[in-house]
Amino acid sequence: MARHAGMRLQSFDLALIAALLFFAGFWWMFGVFDSRDPSQVQIYTAQGLYREVPLRQDGKIRVPGPLGESMVEILSGRVSMVWSPCPNKLCMHAGAVSKSGESIVCIPNRVSVVIRSSPSGPDAVSY
């Protein structure tokens, strides 16, 4: 098989690769360590929004429902339903959620918990 003598990396190629790796690393670091976007835990009942709490604020919240009181726990940036009077307890078995957009729903007791992020500006601009 013949070797191609002109297929070696040039100094410009190496500089371009280094710049792309630098910007990719910077972009990744900015996305991972971005603290401008504080998440909120929104708790809803059949009447609407019951309470909104920062995700970083640990505690237990009692939430009224038609079957009785449910208990929502926020601990170390994770939210879980630790008690509910519903018959199957599926909301309790759902586990803890921690990312924006995730939710826990107790349909029989009409309680839902959603993690939302504060809007930080437009996602896209078009003309």
Which domains, from first to last, does the chain contain? 39-117 (2.60.320.10)
pLDDT for res 40: 93
Q: What is the pLDDT of residue 122?
A: 60
Residue 112 has pLDDT above 90, yes or no: yes
| Segments of the chain assigned E as strands | 39-45, 48-54, 59-65, 68-75, 78-83, 103-106, 111-117
Quote the CA–CA distance of 86 and 66 in Å, as a whole number.
Answer: 10
Helices (H), 3-68: 11-32
Report the percentage of the chain scoring pLDDT > 70: 80
Is the pLDDT score of 2 beyond 60?
Answer: no
| Neighbour-count burial of 55, counting CB atoms closer than 10 A to its CB (0-12 exposed, 13-18 middle, 19+ buried) | buried
Q: How confident is the model at residue 8 (pLDDT cuts 50, 70, 90)?
A: confident
pLDDT at 108 over 70: yes
Q: For the chain, report the end-to-end CA distance as a whole number of angstroms.
A: 54
For the residues 46-70, what does the mean pLDDT come to?
95
What are the tens digits of pLDDT across the range 19-38?
888 888 877 776 665 555 57
Tell me what pLDDT residue 29 has: 74
pLDDT score at 5: 58
Tell me the mean pLDDT in the region 71-93. 94
